[in-house]
Amino acid sequence: MRYIILISIISIFIFGCNTSNSTNEKEEPISIIFDTDIGNDIDDVLALDMLYKYMDQGKINLLGIVSSKDDHPYCAEYLDILNTWYGYPDIPVGVLYNGVSREDSVNTEHTKYSKYVCELEVDGKPMFERTFDNYDNTPYSVDVMRKLLSEATDTSVVVITVGFSTNISRLLSSEPDEYSSLSGKDLITQKVKYLSMMGGNYKKSVGMKEFNIYMDVASARNVFDNWPTPILASGFHVGLSILYPATSIENDFNYVEHHPMVEAYKAYLPMPYDRPTWDLTAVLTVVEKDALYFGFSPPGKVSVTPDEFIFEVDEAGNRTFLTATEQEAARVKERFVELISLLPKNR
């Protein structure tokens, strides 16, 4: 009983809602900005597939997708391919750089599947349609986020970040501009309900530095120290405990000859392989929060140093992380396969 009460309190604290499954009132779609380091690991693409399926079902409004990875032009081009293929070509896309400025460069090495899919051809023509004409004109991620937030209803947006903290740190530190007279921190305070983040090592594995945090540790520190709304984090060990099955990739998408997610999955590593679902967990807990797929830690505070990632329980804190029992992990895996294998509405 104490466990159920704790979950309810944390859910209200983070989500601003109760945990009932009542359907008496139709919920408004959740407004989401998705921040991804697409091109590094394949779970970003699976997470995006989920978001498109939630769009199909009217559960979310995907305001924009921004990349935290310096990989011009493949991040923008591959995101454009996905938006176009799933039937949402008007979703804005932002990039860390626009092909001109390269200061403070972050990881650029992992481009295998995004580049591969962008260059696929059939009979001498691109395998997948694009909507954009010129990727050199793709706007900066921070500009996209500031514009979308300025246009949003107060406290209505959930930011989901599944890559480096570079974009959200820069948003946090941004100055007033043509989109808003507010500083980044004040704009977040006014418009963002909470941040769902895939990142961090909450089991204190010796010598283990979680990739998303330590690819840009200064930005991660800035976010955990200064982000003004609650942060709900899915740490490394949660996604590691839930593997997306290769059997689904091999068997569940035969409704189409060429699928941009499946082509990417097969290019990322030699098939067959089951892959951890790190980024998917940060999406599921936002959109299907009432289903309580996960447990929650007590609220606390996070400290990030060059050598350590530290979570400390603190009743005054507003940082919380997900937990998953073996039974919860099995249930989540089943839900992932069920959702991702759905036929897209616009196909």
CATH number where 318 lies? 3.90.245.10
Burial of 192 per CB tally in 10 Å (0-12, 13-18, 19+): buried
Question: 306: phi > 0 → left, psi -120 to 50 → alpha, else beta; which?
Answer: alpha
Query: How far apart, in whole angstroms, are the C-alpha atoms of residue 168 and residue 170?
Result: 5
Residue 347 forms part of a structural domain: no
Query: How far apart, in whole angstroms, are the C-alpha atoms of residue 296 and residue 336?
Result: 20
Q: Residue 79, CB half-sphere, CA atoms under 13 Å: how many? A: 29
Query: How far apart, in whole angstroms, are the C-alpha atoms of residue 81 and residue 96?
Result: 18
Q: Scanning the structure block, which residue is given the tokens 């003004």?
A: 228
User: Which residue range forms the structural domain that includes residue 272?
Assistant: 2-340
Output b/e per residue, 284-302; b: 16+ Cβ within 10 A. bbbbbbbebbbbbbebbeb
Residue 325 forms part of a structural domain: yes
Residue 345 forms part of a structural domain: no
Beta bridge partners of 28: none
Residue 216 forms part of a structural domain: yes
Residue 202 forms part of a structural domain: yes
Whether the pTM exceeds 0.85: the reply is yes
One-letter amino acid for residue 323 of the chain: T
Q: What angle do CA 213, 217, 223 make, to 5 degrees?
A: 80
Q: Contact, 258 vs 122, CB < 8 A?
A: yes
Which pLDDT score is estimated for 69?
87
Q: Tell me how far the alpha carbon of residue 202 is from its chain's centroid.
A: 19
User: Which residues of the chain have a pLDDT value below 50?
Assistant: 1-5, 18-24, 99-105, 107-108
Closest CA to 138 of 98, 168, 102: 98
Query: How far apart, in whole angstroms, are the C-alpha atoms of residue 233 and residue 240?
Result: 14
Which pLDDT score is estimated for 97?
73
Count the Cβ atoms, other than its own, within 10 Å of residue 43.
24
Structure tokens, 292: 């309580």
Q: Residue 99, CB half-sphere, CA atoms under 13 Å: how many? A: 13
Residue 312 forms part of a structural domain: yes
Q: Three-state DSSP class for 342?
A: coil
Return all residues near 310 (Cβ < 8 A) that are at least 6 apart: 302, 303, 304
Question: How many structural domains are present in the chain?
Answer: 1
Question: Where does the chain show beta strands of DSSP type E?
Answer: 30-36, 60-67, 93-94, 121-122, 125-126, 157-161, 192-198, 231-234, 243-244, 275-276, 295-296, 300-304, 309-313, 319-323
Residue 346 forms part of a structural domain: no
Which pLDDT score is estimated for 335?
98
Residue 229 forms part of a structural domain: yes
